[in-house]
Structure 1
Amino acid sequence: MITIRNARQSDIGFIYDSICILEEKQLDKVRFEQILEFNLSNPVYIYLVAEDDRKPAGLLTCHAQQLLHHSNWVYEIQEMFVLPEYRSKGVGAMLVKELESRLADKDFDVLEVASNVMRTQAHAFYERHGFIHTSKKLVKKK
């Protein structure tokens, strides 16, 4: 049975591996651990892990910030990853539903998500869960 819980620092191995797969590159693990520790301690960030019999199956991270152009809080899904063997089995939907449940009593303007243009299956997933395409994100690398 799948359950959703808060992520913990002890999830570092699963979270690191998941994000490296998602980003298709190896990240600096020492720096990654430092950032994870910082993010887990931030009260406006929500980090969720889906488990199947205490085995991690999926991950969702969400950050919040107060933006002038919304004149309110904005929550944004930063990363979501589900292990291949758990895809199309409702795990991603459970993660999004749990996030929405945790946000239900919060005062905010929107819940956003940005997804790489190549991830068309992810776009379809988010659209099925009520997200609509409203803008185009442009990135300039350092």
Structure 2
Amino acid sequence: MSSNFTIQRAITDDAQEVAVMVGELLAEIMNAIGVQAFNFDLVETTSRLQDFLNREKYFVFVARGVSGNPAGFIALYESYALYAEGTFGTIPELYVRPDYRTNGLGLRLVSQAKSFGAARGWKRLEVTTPPLPQFDRTLAFYEREGFAISGGRKLKVSL
């Protein structure tokens, strides 16, 4: 039951635990798509996250079970766009460890993100899921939480 978890905003001391879960998330995605789509280094990711948290460029909420062990997290960053009518938030990562899925913990993390964003005056939250059949359950989860497909595809270019 998700009520057995506490959700708190991450501080720099939480960075390594969150970075480990980021590695688990990326490995799960790459396993699902069969492509080495991400590079992951635990030390670099931990350091990067500490920097982002210190500069308030990234906001992370960690869910912990009664034992204090991390069960999942949601990350957010603030963006600005005219199409979005001002300031909005983006969810680059949401991860719940497999043993804790299907108990409402993902919903609680998204609810925390919505509350945080509303308190910051964000107009909306955005998230991107891969348009692949392997991620239909992820898409269905977000749709159940009130997210609507807004079109387009996420593209990238390395700099």
Unaligned runs of 5+ residues in structure 2 are 28-37
Q: 1:32 to 1:130 in 2, by over 3 A?
A: same
- Tell me the secondary structure at the aligned position of residue 15 of structure 2: helix
Q: Deviation of residue 44 (structure 1)?
A: 5.5
- The answer (yes or no) to whether the contact 1:2–1:50 under 8 Å persists in 2 is yes
TM-score (norm 1): 0.88
Q: Which moved more, 1:39-48 or 1:131-140?
A: 39-48
**Letter paired with 1:13:** Q
Unaligned runs of 5+ residues in structure 1 are none
Q: Deviation of residue 82 (structure 1)?
A: 0.3
**Letter paired with 1:91:** L
Report matched runs for 1:62-141 at 5 Å.
62-118=76-132, 119-141=135-157
Report the number of matched residues: 142
Q: Deviation of residue 58 (structure 1)?
A: 0.6
TM-score (norm 2): 0.80
Output the CA distance in 1 between the equivalents of 2:108 and 2:128. 19
Q: Deviation of residue 124 (structure 1)?
A: 0.6
- The answer (yes or no) to whether the contact 1:20–1:26 under 8 Å persists in 2 is no
Output the CA distance in 2 between the equivalents of 1:26 and 1:15. 16
**Letter paired with 1:49:** V
RMSD value, Cα: 1.8
Percentage of pairs with the same residue: 27
Pair 1:15 & 2:29 matched: no
